[in-house]
Chains A and B, each alone.
Chain A
Amino acid sequence: QVQLQESGPGLVKPSETLSLTCTVSGGSISGRYWGWIRQPPGKGLEWIGYVYYSGNTNYNPSLKSRVSISVDTSKNQFSLKLSSVTAADTAIYFCARYATSTFPNWFDPWGQGTLVIVSS
């Protein structure tokens, strides 16, 4: 059974870059799409973007200028970078696998999420 685990700093200073990694266990990262989703405290879910195992990506237009998602198949990991962060980027960040290898698609399973606070 595939499991996902987010990791990275829980505190990032304003204007710096948030960096998170999602480690996939119980299955290969190859052949699938992988996504990042975030949830500000007390608010709803927001789709950030995805990466295909080959490296193809797509991002939420509202974040596109600041976000980058990459994949490392040798480590069975994919990563999120969000630059020029502000307090508005404080959120729980989830990684998730897309359930199939084609579009359209949906998320299953999800990682447990990691809280990132943007503060000086």
Chain B
Amino acid sequence: QTVVTQEPSFSVSPGGTVTLTCGLSSASVSTNYCPSWYQQTPGQAPRTLIYNTNTRSSGVPDRFSGSILGNKAALTITGAQADDESDYYCLLYMGSGSWVFGGGTKLTVL
């Protein structure tokens, strides 16, 4: 079973910049995996932030950006705000009509 890795937790100061990553245990993540990113606050459904590696979903502030950094997909938050404190999940397309979520990163803003 393919494992998609994310940092379990991360902390950022208000106004700071943080980069969360999404990797594979046995390969490099490329745009072919069509990485997407989702934000989830407690008790809520996930919200789509980024798709196709680096395209922001409608209504998502431009402080959120996606990219490939080295061999991983990355979500960067520039100028973090208190309400960015959430869980963040990446999703990778593994081909043949199957997908795998990363384990999620709990982001604290303090």
**Interface positions of A (Cβ within 8 A of B):** 37, 44-47, 50, 58, 60-62, 94, 99, 103-113
Say how far B92's CB is from chain A's closest CB, in angstroms.
9
B-side residues, CB < 8 A to A, are 1, 32-34, 36, 38, 40, 44-48, 51-52, 57, 89, 91, 93, 96-104
Q: B91 touching A106 by the CB < 8 A rule?
A: yes
Is A44 within 8 A of B45, CB to CB? Answer: no
B45 touches A107 (CB 8 A): no
Q: Please give, as numbers and ranges, the residues of chain A lying within 8 Å of B57 by CB-CB distance.
A: 108
Shortest beta-carbon distance from B6 to chain A in Å = 9
Most A CB contacts (10 A, CB to CB) among B44, B46, B52 go to B46
Within the assembled complex, what's the spacing in Å between the Cα atoms of A37 and B34? Answer: 18
Given A44-B89, A94-B46, answer yes or no on A50-B97 (Cβ-Cβ < 8 Å). Answer: yes
Q: Is the CB of A47 within 8 A of B103?
A: no
- A99–B46 CB distance below 8 A: no
Of all chain A residues, the one with the shortest Cβ separation from B89 is A45
A107 touches B1 (CB 8 A): no
> Would A108 and B89 count as touching, CB distance under 8 A?
no
Asked whether, in the complex, the Cβ of A47 is within 8 Å of the Cβ of B99, the reply is: yes
Instruction: Report the Cα distance A12→B56, complex, angstroms.
Output: 38
Chain B residues near A99 (CB-CB < 8 A): 48, 51
Q: CA A52 – CA B77 in complex, angstroms? A: 34
The answer to whether A45 touches B93 (Cβ under 8 A) is no
B102 touches A106 (CB 8 A): no
B105 (CB) vs chain A CBs: closest residue: A44
Closest chain B CB from A99 CB (angstroms)? 7
In the complex, chain B residues whose CB is within 8 Å of the CB of A108: 48, 51, 57
> Smallest distance from the beta carbon of B29 to chain A beta carbons, Å?
13
> What B residues does A109 contact at CB under 8 A?
48
Contacts of B104 in A (CB 8 A): 44-45
**CB pair A110 B45 closer than 8 Å:** yes
A44:B48 contact, CB within 8 angstroms: no
Most central of A45, A50, A62, A103 by chain B CB within 10 Å: A45
22 A–B contact pairs at CB < 8 A?
A: A44-B101, A44-B103, A45-B40, A45-B101, A45-B104, A47-B100, A50-B97, A58-B96, A58-B98, A60-B98, A94-B45, A99-B51, A104-B32, A104-B33, A104-B34, A106-B93, A107-B38, A108-B48, A110-B48, A111-B45, A112-B45, A113-B45
